[in-house]
Amino acid sequence: MQTDLFGWTTIERRWGRIGSKGQGVTLSFPDRAQAEIIARQVRERRKSAFKRIGVGYQEVE
């Protein structure tokens, strides 16, 4: 999560196989509270990755 030049809070998400270009999406929110709600929901979904797709998820800084 970070703030852009216009004061909006952005969340950047990236995924893909190791060694590939991968994919990504950037979401923008007018305030930080909305962005934190979405980020929390994304993290909760990622916790169930092993059950859904058989591969665990590791958060990268």
Residue 25 structural domain: 2-53
Domain count within the chain: 1
User: pLDDT at position 55, please?
Assistant: 72
Strand ranges, E, within 7-48: 9-15, 23-29
Q: Global pTM?
A: 0.65
On whether residue 9 sits in a domain, the answer given is yes
Mean pLDDT of the chain: 85
Pick out the chain residues at pLDDT < 70. 58-61
Name the DSSP letter for residue 31. S
> What are the pLDDT digits (tens) for 37-54?
998 898 888 777 777 777
Instruction: Please report the pLDDT score of residue 25 as a whole number.
Output: 92
Partner residues linked to 33 by β-bridges: none
> Is the residue at 32 inside a domain?
yes
Who's near 55: CB < 8 A, 6+ residues apart? 49
What is the distance between the alpha carbons of residues 45 and 25, in angstroms, rounded to a whole number? 16
In a domain? residue 24: yes
